[in-house]
Structure 1
């Protein structure tokens, strides 16, 4: 073999090896690509970048709030404040757990009957779930019954772990163990501890689950009495500055966090905040919050206040269970109404069934819209379909509009697999958002099940007609 032939052979071998390496790398980083397939053989399904049904709706809360005509009278407002105060501080005043321990135990046991996936997209070993259940030690629940207070924002988890539980390998962001975020200064009841002492089981007025123990502290009788009998101010913007009189910066609260008022200064509120003490108990200290970041609680249902809170909520990305300190649909409605003195449960179904809801399930789409125009009160009406809650905001171009926090619109084009048009934030839409797509489940209007007008008569003392 001459030198030219030898060089050609070596070059061919190098090219073949490089091609093989490229193939291995391609299949390694694309696990869904089978060895006999190539990228060019896969169906290309182009996703739209914008939808007319979304872009046509103005993202201006002031425009919708300006149409508000109904407000609460002074008697109704007073009744609402009393009702809220009673419910919000229930973890401190109740003589027994607010949530059924047997139901909690049963629901946790049911987790072991399904296949779940972890953060690495691989199935979770059943032994890992069993070890978490053993760690929870629910056979001994409740092992304590002590009033506490939140000293920093923290996530409530279904099991004592920070690791996720997904239904499918591609189920992000829906970690089924992520439940809610508790707010600074929030009253809680300490009910249980994990076997290793690394987690505490707490309940608030609207949620229950596991939190990291450094996020909560016990409160004594004197501390509780100070807070229970004080006027409250409510945070009206997310992630605001809270500073002690010594200059220390406290963890940033979100909309709906409450602080007991000491006094009002020209530029700031001087309020009480719970911080971590040297022992198991909280220390109540004085902190300053800018007047622009908080208001006296509860806010009145005025166009100005509705515009303020809605505009802030519009900045929120989607976050299942408030992961990353964002919001999902029911966290948005809960925080909105919390500022106005209405305490809602944590999830969408519990919210719509928290009062005398009106069924819409057997109506045509035309009749649903007619019923909304007839009965719906802008920014005081919840709309529900399975798995999703929305706040009715009024009409745009004669179509009902809602404020809601949504993840995505699932749709399926012919010849393509199911895809998601990602919304991923809080926004105003009509109930027919995404109607130009072949939606898998139909529009929200198609699926609309019920409505609830807030506050309902049980909260204000007003008798229904």
Structure 2
């Protein structure tokens, strides 16, 4: 008996001396507990108006005769980054000659001279300069370095409408206006459309992809590209188990629109009804995705996540967080203490239709639990003391008090301390 007792006591002693698991932030990748707070779906007439507005904004580049911005506005990145200390992918200072070569290649003297309508052929990265090389600030600083490539403007999905301003000097890049941003795309990622092709597309219905990394094939069922959730493709019709869609096949500089089959289990006809089943399906596909600044490596950042949440329902959002925070009915939270902010969010926020903004970040309000507001958002990390970061790096559901449970969290970095507004994207009808 004594021989058994001693090892047991020894085990308990070592267990008591073992280091304790450090506290972790309270987060989850489940939205289902909040779906019961979802308001009733939109009435048919209201939803039709929302979708008509969505399509008008989506097809806007094809209705333009030229880019609707000035050359000065289009070249903001040149002036913004020219005087800043920049770093390259090797964590060393970016050579000035390399930056200047990018600017020369941008060929802005040719701005708005080509003026051709086009479409993306696959998922692409919209860049501020005509190069895939990254631009970083000092990687030794907190919150800098990978994934914060400041040459990355946005990810662009396949079959996105474009108008092309001009080409780079070397002919390898096209300066384009998408429905939501300006920037450079490799010419291999785009193809030009005729007016007849555009007329055909805009008169068709649409199917939206609801599964991440879905393979899409051409008319002969040869692989074309992977489509992310919220990719929109023209809908020709339906047959048993499949949608018949149009896909772009590049022929020279132009495009041939081929009919292809797409499994119905991976998509739906637009716009989706905003009911619990569809909201849960869309949210579950977004949750858990790694963070991607500006859509880097085709991952979403905070505003890309909120944009792609609303898109399948035919509700348009701008691309960046500051502009998204101006949509719908805006309520200021500035000047309130944390308790008053949370109380107002819980009392006046509409779950799954309300965005909550803080400088540089946007979140989707999903509901409350025991008086605490919860949000769905894709974030990089939580500020800690002495300028550090606790890395989350993915899309999660958290309370607005995320970070309070961490002993080294920066008290001023807790979400609820920094939020300054909320906006109901589509206010309930009277």
Q: Is the 8 A contact 2:383 2:414 kept in 1?
A: no
How far 1:47 moved relative to its partner? 12
How far 1:49 moved relative to its partner? 5.3
> Please, which of 340, 349, 366 is the counterpart of residue 393 of structure 1?
366
Which whole-Å deviations, capped at 9, do the CAs of 1:264-313 have from their partners, x for residues lacking one?
A: 12211111111211x21111001111111110111111111110000000
SS in structure 1 opposite 2:148?
coil
Aligned pairs (5 A) from 1:1-400: 50-51=23-24, 53-55=25-27, 58-170=28-140, 171-277=145-251, 279-400=252-373
User: Matches of 2:256 and 2:95 in 1, distance apart?
Assistant: 42
User: Matches of 2:204 and 2:197 in 1, distance apart?
Assistant: 11
Instruction: Give the greater-gyration-radius structure (CA).
Output: 1
Partner of 1:27: none
Is 1:450 equivalent to 2:424 in the alignment?
no
User: Matches of 2:238 and 2:23 in 1, distance apart?
Assistant: 47
Which whole-Å deviations, capped at 9, do the CAs of 1:154-174 have from their partners, x for residues lacking one?
A: 100000111111111242110
Higher strand share: 2
How far 1:356 moved relative to its partner? 4.0
Which whole-Å deviations, capped at 9, do the CAs of 1:174-199 have from their partners, x for residues lacking one?
A: 00001111111111111121111111
User: Matches of 1:393 and 1:290 in 2, distance apart?
Assistant: 30
Change (3 A) 1:50 1:220: farther
Q: Is the 8 A contact 1:118 1:169 kept in 2?
A: no
Gaps of 5+ in 1: 1-45
Q: Is the 8 A contact 2:66 2:112 kept in 1?
A: no
User: Matches of 2:373 and 2:173 in 1, distance apart?
Assistant: 45
Q: Is the 8 A contact 2:105 2:170 kept in 1?
A: yes
What TM-score do you get using the length of structure 2 for normalisation? 0.90
User: Matches of 1:74 and 1:210 in 2, distance apart?
Assistant: 39
Root mean square deviation, CA, Å: 1.8
How far 1:371 moved relative to its partner? 1.2
Change (3 A) 1:99 1:54: farther
User: Matches of 1:79 and 1:161 in 2, distance apart?
Assistant: 40
User: Matches of 2:20 and 2:208 in 1, distance apart?
Assistant: 42
Partner of 1:423: 392
The 10-residue stretch of structure 1 (202-211 or 440-449) with the greater mean CA deviation from structure 2: 440-449
Change (3 A) 1:80 1:320: same
The 10-residue stretch of structure 1 (229-238 or 243-252) with the greater mean CA deviation from structure 2: 243-252
User: Matches of 2:262 and 2:194 in 1, distance apart?
Assistant: 25
Q: Is the 8 A contact 2:290 2:300 kept in 1?
A: yes
SS in structure 1 opposite 2:224?
coil
> Please, which of 361, 367, 379 is the counterpart of residue 406 of structure 1?
379
Q: Is the 8 A contact 1:234 1:294 kept in 2?
A: yes
Which whole-Å deviations, capped at 9, do the CAs of 1:120-168 have from their partners, x for residues lacking one?
A: 1111122221221111122331221111111111100000111111111
Change (3 A) 1:112 1:400: same
Q: Is the 8 A contact 1:319 1:328 kept in 2?
A: yes
Which whole-Å deviations, capped at 9, do the CAs of 1:202-237 have from their partners, x for residues lacking one?
A: 111111100110111111011111110001010111
User: Matches of 1:355 and 1:99 in 2, distance apart?
Assistant: 25
User: Matches of 2:69 and 2:180 in 1, distance apart?
Assistant: 9
Q: Is the 8 A contact 2:329 2:425 kept in 1?
A: no
SS in structure 2 opposite 1:210?
strand
Q: Is the 8 A contact 2:330 2:423 kept in 1?
A: yes
> Please, which of 396, 401, 416 is the counterpart of residue 432 of structure 1?
401
User: Matches of 1:54 and 1:100 in 2, distance apart?
Assistant: 46
What TM-score do you get using the length of structure 1 for normalisation? 0.84
User: Matches of 1:47 and 1:237 in 2, distance apart?
Assistant: 40
The 10-residue stretch of structure 1 (173-182 or 98-107) with the greater mean CA deviation from structure 2: 98-107
Q: Is the 8 A contact 1:70 1:377 kept in 2?
A: no
Gaps of 5+ in 2: 1-18
The 10-residue stretch of structure 1 (65-74 or 115-124) with the greater mean CA deviation from structure 2: 65-74
Change (3 A) 1:392 1:98: farther
Aligned length: 406
Q: Is the 8 A contact 1:47 1:421 kept in 2?
A: no
